[in-house]
Structure 1
Amino acid sequence: MISRLGRSRAGWPAFIGVCLLIMLAVTGPIIWGERALAQDPSSALLPPSPDHWFGTDSLGRDLFARVMTASRLSLLMALAANAIGAAVGLGLGIVAAFSRGWLRRLLGRAIDVALSFPDILLAVIVITIVGMGVTGPVVAVGVAMIPGYARLALTLGASVAGRDYVDSARLLGLSGPRILVHYVLRNVAEPLLTSVCTSVGVALLSVSSLSFLGLGVQPPDFDWGAMLTEGVRYFYLSPAWALSSAALIALSGLTFGLLGEALAHGASARNGRRRRRATAPQAAGAGAAPRPGALVDAADLTVTVHEAAEPFDAVKSVSLQVAPGEAVGIVGESSSGKSLTAAAIADLLPPGIGVRAERLALDGQPLAGLPAAGRGRFLFEKVAMIYQDPMAALNPALRIGTQLTEGAIQHRRISRARAEQRARELLAEARLPDPERVMQSYPHELSGGMRQRVMIAMALMSEPKVIIADEPTTALDVTTQAAVLQVLDDARARRDSSLVLISHNLAVVANHVDRIVVMYAGSVMEVIGASVLAEHGPAHPYTLALLRSVVRTDQDRDQPLPSIPGSPASAPTAPGAAGAGGCPFVDRCPDAFEPCHTVPPLITLAVDHSSRCWLHLQDRPDGVAPVAAQR
């Protein structure tokens, strides 16, 4: 603890100051208590002298002794008030951050309303109810500090709870308290520590202010605020009376502020060395039986965003089956619904987003009927998620080894030594040099490609039947992309696992999967086998546009890069959204014609190939035969 304080420039001054305050609070009343109460009217209002360092008050009592004696009561009241505010406020804020729906909105509005009142006004209101004395100011200031702590906890908790590494922890099936302590609180420790420590000074000032106003400590008790009130009356006769109390209040506040800064730096240095629960899928079709043999079986899957100004379907009636050992790619531009579809399969959708499906099952087990008690372990054993940004997916406060092993220790009930040995084996399999060093590293100490290989090793720790890789090569150079995808291919081949690979790049995905699902604005545009794509090419205009947009090394550098005209349509703004009808790609499609303004069905063109386009059924005005007829 002391060594961590020493790493900050404010550490030693804060440590020495706090030690002096503690010594003063403990010994002050013992050493100077009797002298502080001794009255000598003949020595009233004496100036500072060797006998009376701060002079005397109107009753001849030694001001130095009284200031020293008042330190215990002043500091204890400040600490108690701060403890009340921190305990209740932080707890309320965390509850609000991890709540959902109306409860979160209600708590958030209540906190905002409370913050609109000045702290001192709230304290005065409470003290009129509780009463003056020693207890009254403590309770009043503690209550006044609750809204500030609650807002801090709500803001920090909500910002961290939405991170990918928290979703990963939920997917591992870690308990709520463990996620809160190890994944949330550890990553907001610095601002919390700073706020709690500096707020002791604020509490001291508030308690002293109430005493200064005559609403706090009453005679015969006295604190620094009460002494300041009395000293102001005789300021021109004995300025040391008021100045001594004011100086100790200011110095104490500064000391606790420095302590907060030092502890924050210490916690950050230590970290450098060393769910919200998803919305449960609802079955839309009762009694729908899962398809036999499919590891992933989603039929008529719809994902609805409820927290928007107007709820909308971000994923619309998507059907996806993945067989054991099969690799399926999901391709499309941003906002096409790829990641939401994968998150629904992995049961990782955040609050405010709902799921309905005729059938949504993993390895034959419908997710809608999965009991809460065994949900975490089931998902841990069946599915693993690899996110596109490993730096966000990995907990920055934990070593790589800890993050690799904790899920296996909890769910597989194996020893830490066995889990660490398995982690080293998987890191070596992921072609990471010196697995032992990687185990002892923090995420920021690794390169982007190394972090992504760590994510692959972490996914394999559970020996999952399905691996979902959400754009795992984003922001990596071409060589590293190829290496990461090769590691993923090798790992899947050794275990005969299924793979769902999400990407913007159709050409890259086609080389690593058996079948490709092309999505646009939340809808499936085309489903095509990789071999069919290589032999015949795509049938849907959008898939063809995606393929043409891939940059090639042999293309003419004097010509502009190929692109798709217009901007990608999101689900709520696509032409086919909100029941408006029509193909969502109609505004950007070069082959659009009159039938495209009605919703096309998903048409089977050949074995392992279907497309959602009217061009496959009707002759165009230019006389070109439909694609189905051409084949």
Structure 2
Amino acid sequence: MTTVPEPAATPPAAGTSLVRSVLTSPRGAIAVAFLVLLVLACVLAPLIAPYDPLAQHLSAVRAGPSGDYWLGTDSLGRDLLSRLLHGGRSSLLGVLEAVVAQLVVAVPCGLFAGYRGGAFDRITMRVAEVVMSVPVIIILLAVLSIFDRSMTSAMIAFGVLGSAGLMRVVRGAALAAREELYVTAAELMGLSRLQVVVRHVLPRCRGVIVVQASLFAAVTLGVQTGLTFLSLGPPPPAPTWGGMVADAASVFNQDAWMLVPPGVTIALTVLAFGVLGDVVRDANAEKQAAAPRARRRRHTAPATGATPREDVLLSVRDLSVATDGEHPLALIDGVGFDIEAGETVGLVGESGSGKTMTARAVMGLLPRNCRIASGAVVFDGKPIHGLDQRAFRELRGRRIAMISQEPMAALDPSFRIGSLVAEVVRAVDDLKGAALRARVVELLRMVEIPDPEGVARRFPHQISGGMAQRVAIAMALAGRPELLIADEPTTALDVTVQAEILDLLRSLQRENHMAILLVTHNWGVVADLCTKVVVMYAGQVVETASAADIFSRPAHPYTRALLQSSPENTPLGERIRAIPGTVPSPHEWPTGCRFASRCDLARPECTEGAIPVEALSGDRISRCIRIDALLGEEVSR
């Protein structure tokens, strides 16, 4: 047994802060720029506003935009721009007061409730539930009545009432952070609870805090505008955005323009807060996925090495995928294999073994609720497991491509075949006009589609399943990929068409020196195409060997059972030897060998602890302690 540290994940830009991630996003940069400019303009209103917001110019009542009044005037001749800037001071200050009140109450309570648990957690959550049941508008009206229409008091009260929702979200994030090994290490080092929470738990929760605060700011602005619209805030003629909307509404039939400046400003501000929250959420999710938990795992290093090989095209090492949430569920556990340039590797296993999830992890296309928890994916000598989606887009469709088992699902029925292929070509080659049309026809001809010009004018429903698969392959080849991931490419096709697709893949691989990762459960396809086979079961690799060794002498009971259950290996007239039972769900994975309950060679020791990976001859490995019984000879460990 050897202790092998997990490879350190490299984020999209190592050390990049959340702020920088937000600012490098076009949406985030625009939202932040707008909010900064708005705040500066309102803060500097006494200096930059062209007029006193209360000054009346009776000679220019309800005047439109002009050189003297950039946004026009209201029904009393007051400059709209000046009132907008001065009114923004109270509006934005109210938003700040509410958000600060929410954070002051919610963050400490949520952090300690999630971290400490127990009675404090139960009491805090019950109080939060009671607060969430209180009718907010009634409380705000009471506060405004008691405190003589003090908008500051109303906004602080609104922030306190709104803290319950954020408190629950922060508690959930703190619960997940509490399970991290570095939190346990900090406790073992003697740090106080306050130090652990502030230094280790709070940074993990900052993303959700910022997201919720930005969305709450948008809601607060709407509530405050509504209150001032109803004249429940500062009395006229004090400039407020809600008051400006109310003034405009009273003369809307005579002058609709008066509603535009405050209405557009309020709408853009609310939109900016919402966009900022979305961008922070996405940036934080990418950052968390790109920086998996640093931990050490105890296992036997595979024969292919503990670190990714740089002399192969694709190297996957100790790849683990888990769900997000308070209680992450492992879906892929310590998967590792290599693919050399021009090689075809089969990824084999029953449904639920983790084949497709592994392929999606390589492509950076995991479901939104899943993340790479540990391990490394190295492509052409460079780690790609920590890339953001923008960097992955530079790889996908160009150097790495994928075709799915349902070709029709990859073809939008609203567009013609030629348009779909052209869309991919434009993305990877930036071609236009005649050159684009020629490349589309070339790709369709490359996948041996008869009459490519005619097929390009058809819709997906007008072609067969085999033809649709060829179109999907053509789209995948548009970027001239070095690695093609084929997920069950022949599942929905009849035997004759299957053979044609396999012949096509073989010829394309030979012509383009392209590596193929073939995800399948069909041993006939494996025998026809693959040079190496990786067998998966219940999220783990149980055997890796050359195709010849797999078929002649399987070194794992699951591999042998899969071969015996294949219709091709069943004599005529005999029943297929199906494997009893089913693949266990991730939450049901046993402690020891995950195949033990279905294995005819299982012994008590198979379920006593984790099964190590055994290195056999060459690059062959097997996760089994009964290899000697299976092969009929003693295998040195």
TM-score (norm 1): 0.52
Match of residue 475 from structure 1: 492
Q: Please say if residues 312 and 340 of structure 2, whose CA atoms lie closer than 8 Å, have aligned partners that are also in contact.
A: yes
Deviation at 1:493, TM superposition (A): 1.1
CA separation of 1:358 and 1:561: change in aligned 2, threshold 3 A: closer
1:413 to 421, 426, 430: 430
Match of residue 463 from structure 1: 480
Match of residue 516 from structure 1: 533
Q: Which runs of 5+ in 1 are unaligned?
A: 1-121, 123-216, 222-275, 576-580
Match of residue 80 from structure 2: none
Match of residue 324 from structure 2: 306
Match of residue 171 from structure 1: none
Q: Look up the SS of the partner of 2:518 in the other structure.
A: strand
CA separation of 1:510 and 1:553: change in aligned 2, threshold 3 A: closer
Q: Please say if residues 468 and 501 of structure 1, whose CA atoms lie closer than 8 Å, have aligned partners that are also in contact.
A: yes
> Aligned letter for 2:504?
V
CA separation of 1:437 and 1:489: change in aligned 2, threshold 3 A: same
Structure 1: how far apart are the matches of 2:464 and 2:394?
A: 31
Deviation at 1:284, TM superposition (A): 5.6
> Aligned letter for 2:611?
P
Match of residue 600 from structure 1: 611
> Aligned letter for 2:575?
P
Q: How does 1:102-501 map to 2 (within 5 A)?
A: 280-282=289-291, 290-306=308-324, 310-370=327-387, 373-501=390-518
Match of residue 621 from structure 2: 610
CA separation of 1:517 and 1:281: change in aligned 2, threshold 3 A: farther
CA separation of 1:469 and 1:363: change in aligned 2, threshold 3 A: same
Q: Please say if residues 285 and 359 of structure 1, whose CA atoms lie closer than 8 Å, have aligned partners that are also in contact.
A: no
Q: Please say if residues 521 and 574 of structure 1, whose CA atoms lie closer than 8 Å, have aligned partners that are also in contact.
A: yes
CA separation of 1:451 and 1:305: change in aligned 2, threshold 3 A: same
Q: Please say if residues 428 and 478 of structure 2, whose CA atoms lie closer than 8 Å, have aligned partners that are also in contact.
A: no
Structure 1: how far apart are the matches of 2:391 and 2:524?
A: 39
Aligned length: 354
Match of residue 539 from structure 1: 555
Q: Deviation digits for residues 241-298 of structure 1, max 9, x if unmatched?
A: xxxxxxxxxxxxxxxxxxxxxxxxxxxxxxxxxxx99964445669x97422222121
1:566 to 581, 602, 617: 581
CA separation of 1:514 and 1:625: change in aligned 2, threshold 3 A: closer
Q: Look up the SS of the partner of 2:366 in the other structure.
A: coil
Structure 1 stretches of 4+ with a deviation exceeding 6 A read: none
Q: Please say if residues 293 and 324 of structure 1, whose CA atoms lie closer than 8 Å, have aligned partners that are also in contact.
A: no
Q: Deviation digits for residues 478-526 of structure 1, max 9, x if unmatched?
A: 1111111111111111111110000111232132111100001101111
Q: Please say if residues 342 and 468 of structure 1, whose CA atoms lie closer than 8 Å, have aligned partners that are also in contact.
A: yes
Deviation at 1:369, TM superposition (A): 4.7
Q: Please say if residues 281 and 356 of structure 1, whose CA atoms lie closer than 8 Å, have aligned partners that are also in contact.
A: no
> Aligned letter for 2:585?
S
Structure 1: how far apart are the matches of 2:463 and 2:396?
A: 28
CA separation of 1:290 and 1:537: change in aligned 2, threshold 3 A: closer
> Aligned letter for 1:447?
S
Deviation at 1:452, TM superposition (A): 0.6
CA separation of 1:626 and 1:311: change in aligned 2, threshold 3 A: farther
Deviation at 1:372, TM superposition (A): 5.2
Q: Please say if residues 425 and 440 of structure 2, whose CA atoms lie closer than 8 Å, have aligned partners that are also in contact.
A: no
Deviation at 1:420, TM superposition (A): 2.5
TM-score (norm 2): 0.51
Q: Please say if residues 541 and 589 of structure 1, whose CA atoms lie closer than 8 Å, have aligned partners that are also in contact.
A: yes
Match of residue 153 from structure 1: none
Structure 2: how far apart are the matches of 1:518 and 1:430?
A: 29
Q: Alignment identity in percent?
A: 38
Q: Please say if residues 426 and 461 of structure 1, whose CA atoms lie closer than 8 Å, have aligned partners that are also in contact.
A: yes
Deviation at 1:325, TM superposition (A): 0.9
Q: How does 1:65-80 map to 2 (within 5 A)?
A: none
Structure 2: how far apart are the matches of 1:454 and 1:364?
A: 31
Structure 2: how far apart are the matches of 1:505 and 1:282?
A: 36
Match of residue 590 from structure 1: 600
Structure 2: how far apart are the matches of 1:539 and 1:374?
A: 39
Deviation at 1:358, TM superposition (A): 3.2
CA separation of 1:378 and 1:591: change in aligned 2, threshold 3 A: same
Query: Whose RCO is larger (CA < 8 A, sep 6+)?
Result: 2
Q: Look up the SS of the partner of 2:529 in the other structure.
A: coil
Deviation at 1:425, TM superposition (A): 1.7
> Aligned letter for 1:306?
D
Structure 2: how far apart are the matches of 1:405 and 1:320?
A: 34
Deviation at 1:342, TM superposition (A): 0.3
Q: Deviation digits for residues 80-120 of structure 1, max 9, x if unmatched?
A: xxxxxxxxxxxxxxxxxxxxxxxxxxxxxxxxxxxxxxxxx
> Aligned letter for 1:628?
V
Q: Please say if residues 316 and 337 of structure 2, whose CA atoms lie closer than 8 Å, have aligned partners that are also in contact.
A: yes
> Aligned letter for 2:587?
P
CA separation of 1:570 and 1:414: change in aligned 2, threshold 3 A: same
Q: Look up the SS of the partner of 2:351 in the other structure.
A: coil
CA separation of 1:427 and 1:530: change in aligned 2, threshold 3 A: same
> Aligned letter for 1:382?
R
CA separation of 1:627 and 1:413: change in aligned 2, threshold 3 A: farther
Structure 2: how far apart are the matches of 1:369 and 1:281?
A: 4
Structure 1: how far apart are the matches of 2:329 and 2:433?
A: 46
CA separation of 1:284 and 1:321: change in aligned 2, threshold 3 A: farther
- In terms of mean alpha carbon deviation, does 417-426 or 456-465 score higher? 417-426
Q: Deviation digits for residues 286-341 of structure 1, max 9, x if unmatched?
A: 9x97422222121110010226x842111001012111111111000011000000
**Structure (1 or 2) with the larger CA radius of gyration:** 1
CA separation of 1:369 and 1:586: change in aligned 2, threshold 3 A: closer
Q: How does 1:23-62 map to 2 (within 5 A)?
A: none
Structure 2: how far apart are the matches of 1:313 and 1:453?
A: 35
CA separation of 1:533 and 1:554: change in aligned 2, threshold 3 A: closer
Q: Deviation digits for residues 525-566 of structure 1, max 9, x if unmatched?
A: 1101012224x3211110001101111387232x32220011
Q: Look up the SS of the partner of 1:410 in the other structure.
A: helix
Q: Please say if residues 315 and 522 of structure 1, whose CA atoms lie closer than 8 Å, have aligned partners that are also in contact.
A: yes
Q: Look up the SS of the partner of 2:585 in the other structure.
A: coil
Structure 1: how far apart are the matches of 2:314 and 2:544?
A: 16
Q: Please say if residues 282 and 368 of structure 1, whose CA atoms lie closer than 8 Å, have aligned partners that are also in contact.
A: no
Q: Please say if residues 554 and 560 of structure 2, whose CA atoms lie closer than 8 Å, have aligned partners that are also in contact.
A: yes
Structure 1: how far apart are the matches of 2:386 and 2:613?
A: 29
Q: Deviation digits for residues 104-152 of structure 1, max 9, x if unmatched?
A: xxxxxxxxxxxxxxxxxx9xxxxxxxxxxxxxxxxxxxxxxxxxxxxxx
Deviation at 1:404, TM superposition (A): 1.1
Structure 2: how far apart are the matches of 1:428 and 1:332?
A: 33
Q: Please say if residues 283 and 368 of structure 1, whose CA atoms lie closer than 8 Å, have aligned partners that are also in contact.
A: no
1:628 to 614, 631, 635: 635
Structure 2: how far apart are the matches of 1:402 and 1:365?
A: 34
